[in-house]
Chains A and B, each alone.
Chain A
Amino acid sequence: QVQLVESGGGVVQPGRSLRLSCAASGFTFSSYAIHWVRQAPGKGLEWVAVISYDGSSKYYADSVKGRFTISRDNSKNTLYLQMNSLRVEDTAVYYCATGTIMGTDYWGQGTLVTVSS
Chain B
Amino acid sequence: AQSVAQPEDQVNVAEGNPLTVKCTYSVSGNPYLFWYVQYPNRGLQFLLKYITGDNLVKGSYGFEAEFNKSQTSFHLKKPSALVSDSALYFCAVREYNTDKLIFGTGTRLQVFP
Q: Do A and B bind each other?
A: no
Residues of chain B touching chain A, judged by Cβ–Cβ distance below 8 Å, are none
Residues of chain A touching chain B, judged by Cβ–Cβ distance below 8 Å, are none
